[in-house]
């Protein structure tokens, strides 16, 4: 095998595919990526056998088709440091030669036939969604997953696909993020899994692979796995085992207080109040009163803070305590000018934050007698 391609394009491909390459594994072959070359294109494949990705580089000068294995991290390091616009990769005996401008490396290689196969996307029935929308939806939910939990399916994002639209939901039991969007059905896609939860690692990989906001992404959920296809990539992921919580049951349907806020200003106030907190004293008191929100935090051996934010609210005073990290997580994925509606019942009940574009975030308050 021998090919020449743009160094930057190959490095970008390895950067993305490297997201699934395990740093530690009982199967050392998985620390490689497979490079296949044929008919003017190169395909790089990586997998940890739970999540896999095929990345297509369309502009490659293939002098001799074939396939090889490359050590993922070492090859990426070479490409980053190498000079010149192009790189030549060639199989020579048991070695792989990587040539650039005034530099040449010879790397040991394993047998590519032993590398696991990553499924291709050849579905006839599937859903499509714009890359811009899917990227935003992932960013608005993935932070609420709990990758350390062994309960339920909290280590991933619930992906519900219907003819009416797409819903993503994630929770760690302390907060819940739900976002709804538009999608289009092609053929007759019907998920075999009633509660498909895609692991956080795969969702992060999908989000990083969406580099062209204008493209259309194809998705299909099957019995035990999911497939996602973009212009350059095909991503395969097994689904998370376990039961996802009945998230709709925990979204309050009524509130006593409704307050309109602007994401940027609210986020700035939360960040300021968060400075004077520590692991023992995480809570910040949010006191909503007529015309003013006051945030107070007190931490032993650190000090205390008081931050005021004028708000469009006229009503009875309502104090409630939140972990500021959870409030900030919601606000930082919004545009600063985004309008946010905060619905409250009392100091002990879940608070609901909503935007006008289908995003709902529920956060549980902390006990005020902490």
The conformation of residue 312, written as its DSSP 8-state character, comes to: B
Quick one: pLDDT band at residue 368, thresholds 50, 70, 90? Answer: low
| Res 370 pLDDT > 50 | no
Nearest Cα to Cα of residue 12 among 69, 74, 79, 68: 79
| 339 close to 260: Cβ distance less than 8 angstroms | yes
Q: How far apart are CA 203 and CA 208, in angstroms?
A: 9
CA 183, 189, 194, 196: dihedral to nearest 10 degrees?
-60
| Res 251 pLDDT > 80 | yes
pTM of the model: 0.93
pLDDT of residue 300: 82
| 33 close to 89: Cβ distance less than 8 angstroms | no
Tell me the mean pLDDT in the region 283-298: 96
| Res 152 pLDDT > 60 | yes
Tell me the mean pLDDT in the region 141-163: 89
Q: Which residues of 143-177 are buried (b: 16+ CB within 10 A; e: fewer)?
A: bbbbeeeeebbbbbbbbbbeeeebbbbbbbeebbb
- Degrees to nearest 5, angle at CA 346 with 345 and 351: 60
Tell me the mean pLDDT in the region 279-306: 92
H helices present in the chain, as ranges:
7-17, 72-81, 131-139, 200-209, 263-274, 324-331
Q: What's the chain's average pLDDT?
A: 94
Tokens for 85, please give them.
């616009």
3-state secondary structure of 297: strand
> Tell me, which fold does domain 126-248 have in CATH?
DNA Polymerase III; Chain A, domain 2 (3.10.150)
Q: Which residues contact 120 (CB under 8 A, 6 or more apart)?
A: 54, 234
Per the DSSP assignment, residues forming a β-bridge with 34 are: 45, 69
Nearest Cα to Cα of residue 249 among 160, 181, 171: 171
Q: How far apart are CA 165 and CA 184, in angstroms?
A: 7
pLDDT of residue 192: 59
Cα 139 vs. chain centroid, distance in angstroms?
6
pLDDT of residue 40: 83
| Res 65 pLDDT > 50 | yes
| Res 353 pLDDT > 70 | yes
Tell me the mean pLDDT in the region 261-266: 98
- pLDDT tens-digit readout, 130-145: 999 999 999 999 999 9
- pLDDT tens-digit readout, 182-239: 999 999 886 556 689 999 999 999 999 999 999 999 999 998 999 999 999 999 999 9
Nearest Cα to Cα of residue 292 among 267, 268, 317, 270: 317
Q: How far apart are CA 234 and CA 282, in angstroms?
A: 41
Contacts 24+ apart (CB under 8 A), 245-250: 245/152, 245/154, 245/171, 245/173, 247/158, 247/169, 247/171, 247/176, 247/178, 250/176, 250/350, 250/362
pLDDT of residue 369: 57
What percent of the chain has a predicted confidence (pLDDT) above 70? 98
Nearest Cα to Cα of residue 336 among 290, 256, 271, 278: 271
Q: How far apart are CA 362 and CA 144, in angstroms?
A: 10
Tell me the mean pLDDT in the region 35-57: 95
CATH value of 252-363 in 3.40.640.10, 3.10.150.10, 1.10.645.10, 2.40.50.100: 3.10.150.10
Q: How far apart are CA 152 and CA 239, in angstroms?
A: 13
> Tell me, which fold does domain 2-114 have in CATH?
DNA Polymerase III; Chain A, domain 2 (3.10.150)
The conformation of residue 365, written as its DSSP 8-state character, comes to: P
CB atoms < 10 A from the CB of 224, how many? 11
Ranges in the chain annotated CATH 3.10.150.10: 2-114, 126-248, 252-363
What percent of the chain has a predicted confidence (pLDDT) above 90? 86
Tokens for 76, please give them.
């990426």
Q: What separation, in Å, do the N-terminal and C-terminal C-alpha atoms of the chain show?
A: 66
Sheet holding 303-310, edge to edge: 303-310, 292-299, 284-289, 318-322
pLDDT of residue 148: 84
- pLDDT tens-digit readout, 21-36: 999 999 999 999 999 9
């Amino acid at each position: 095998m021998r090919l020449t391609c743009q160094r930057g394009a190959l490095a970008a491909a390895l950067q993305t595919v490297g997201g699934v390459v395990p740093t530690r594994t009982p199967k050392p072959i998985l620390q490689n990526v497979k490079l296949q070359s044929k008919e003017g294109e190169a395909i790089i494949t990586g997998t940890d056998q739970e999540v896999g990705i095929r990345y297509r580089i369309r502009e490659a000068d293939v002098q001799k088709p074939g396939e090889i294995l490359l050590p993922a991290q070492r090859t990426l390091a070479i490409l980053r440091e190498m000079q010149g616009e192009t790189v030549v990769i060639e199989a020579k005996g048991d070695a792989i030669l990587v040539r650039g401008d005034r530099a040449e490396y010879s790397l040991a290689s394993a047998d590519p036939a032993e590398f696991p196969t990553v499924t291709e996307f050849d579905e006839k029935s599937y859903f499509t969604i714009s890359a811009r929308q899917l990227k935003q939806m992932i960013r608005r939910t993935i932070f609420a997953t709990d990758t350390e939990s062994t309960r339920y399916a909290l280590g991933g994002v619930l992906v519900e696909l219907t003819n009416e639209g797409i819903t993503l939901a994630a929770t760690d039991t302390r907060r819940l993020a739900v976002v709804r969007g538009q999608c289009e059905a092609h053929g007759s896609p019907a998920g075999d899994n009633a509660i498909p939860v895609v692991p956080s690692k795969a969702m992060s990989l999908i989000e990083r692979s969406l580099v062209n906001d204008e493209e259309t992404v194809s998705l299909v959920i099957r019995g035990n796995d999911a497939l996602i296809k973009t212009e350059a990539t095909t991503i395969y992921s097994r689904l998370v085992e376990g039961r996802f919580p009945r998230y709709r049951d925990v979204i309050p349907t009524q509130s006593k207080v409704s307050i309109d806020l602007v994401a940027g200003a609210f986020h700035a106030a939360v960040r300021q109040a968060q400075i004077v907190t520590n692991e023992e004293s995480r809570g910040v008191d949010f006191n909503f009163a007529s015309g003013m929100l006051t945030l107070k935090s007190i931490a032993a051996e650190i000090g205390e803070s008081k931050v005021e934010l004028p708000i469009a609210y006229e009503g009875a005073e309502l104090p409630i305590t939140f972990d500021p990290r959870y409030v900030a997580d919601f606000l930082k994925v919004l545009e600063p000018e985004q309008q946010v509606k905060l619905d409250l019942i009392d100091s002990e009940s879940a608070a609901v934050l909503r935007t006008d574009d289908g995003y709902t975030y529920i956060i549980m308050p902390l006990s005020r007698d902490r």
